[in-house]
Amino acid sequence: MADCQTPQALKRSTNKAKRALRARSLLLTTALLCVAWSVNAQPMTTGATEARFSVGNITQFKTDLNQGGDFDWYSFDAGLRVRHQVNSAVNVGASIGYRYERWSWQNPAAFGGQAPWGNISTPSVGLSLDYALKPGLRLGFSPSVQWAAEDGVGTASSAIYGAVFSATNTFSKALTLGLGLGVFRELGENKLFPFLAINWQINDQWSLKNPLPAGPAGGAGLELAYQINPQWTISAGGAYRNYRFRLNDSGPYAGGVGQNRLIPVFARASYSLTKSMTVDFYAIATMGGNVQIESADGTQTLNNSYDTGLGLAVNLSHRF
């Protein structure tokens, strides 16, 4: 009799095992975050500290949903990252960020004609540790936590946390390669993904790098850039993004989880205002898009793919 379980107890045991697996997966996903930053960062002398502040906007224009209706959204992003070279082997860092998205929906048939969510806020904090085993060979670890939720949701039910682990090797002044693995616990779902870290200065004008840090939304992606002159750089690239957020209790899917999955492909033109300040202009196509709703108890899922969407973005960054 001791080995027998009621259906309710068996369900609880199964859910507990799933949660444990998801938690392990989440920790791995966070590990990706530090790799893209450290592999593309400039070498620092012992005792030096570098900070980077950025602020930006993304606008996705009206995009048709495959089951009827359409949507559009825009976002505001701001972030600050600081890193310090403790000695020749150890570099530590910290980051803080905030992202705000405002969505507008028109008759989304897959969701009963009701807007599944509105405004989404995502504050975040993170740490990083970069350690040189020997000249050129570095290990990285970056834990982070963010709170992704629709307006009106507290932090307790919206935390996304995990870590990113990486190993990179500098083969020459022109080439650094590495591998990373990230794990994140993301509102009832675990993310586990490997990625390639690369910083390759092909020649004086061409380079291949990770354009974005890895993190809860996905891997770092790839970007091929061409430097026209000291002021202007153009590039093209892409990445995979899949992010989740908690819904509030006043909407049609109270307490559930929303999700947006997409493959952003972009063209970029960057202008260096000064040696430490750059403005980036982006044209974006969001491919393979899908929006999804999960009920609060996880028993019901609604989703709707959407057509390729077009968007524009601008970002201003300052290093000091």
Q: What is the pLDDT of residues 86-117, one digit of tens each?
A: 999 999 999 999 999 999 999 999 999 999 99
Q: Cα separation of 232 and 227, whole Å?
A: 6
Q: Cα separation of 158 and 189, whole Å?
A: 12
Instruction: Identify the band that residue 40 occupies on the pLDDT scale cut at 50, 70 and 90.
Output: low
Cα–Cα nearest to 174, from 140, 210, 199: 199
Half-sphere exposure (CA, 13 Å, Cβ side) for 242? 16
Cα–Cα nearest to 149, from 245, 216, 253: 245
pLDDT, residue 15, reads 46
Task: Tell me the per-residue pLDDT of 187-199, one tens digit each, with 9 for 90 and over.
Answer: 988 888 888 999 9
Q: What are the structural domains, with CATH classification, of the chain?
A: 22-319 (2.40.128)
Q: How many CB atoms lie within 10 A of CB 223?
A: 19
Q: Which of 25-34, 49-58, 67-76, 150-159 has the lowest mean pLDDT?
A: 25-34
Structure tokens at 301: 């899922």
Task: Tell me the per-residue pLDDT of 202-243, one tens digit each, with 9 for 90 and over.
Answer: 999 999 999 877 766 767 789 999 999 999 999 999 998 999
Contact at 8 Å (CB) between 175 and 272? no
Instruction: Identify the band that residue 18 occupies on the pLDDT scale cut at 50, 70 and 90.
Output: very low
- Nearest 5°: the CA angle 311, 304, 153 is 80
Evaluate if residue 179 carries a pLDDT over 60. yes
Helices marked H in the chain: 7-30, 32-40
pLDDT, residue 41, reads 60
Evaluate if residue 39 carries a pLDDT over 80. no
Half-sphere exposure (CA, 13 Å, Cβ side) for 97? 26
Evaluate if residue 9 carries a pLDDT over 70. no
Q: Cα separation of 296 and 186, whole Å?
A: 14
Whole-prediction pTM: 0.82
End-to-end Cα distance, the chain: 67
Contact at 8 Å (CB) between 293 and 256? yes
Structure tokens at 193: 């993904």
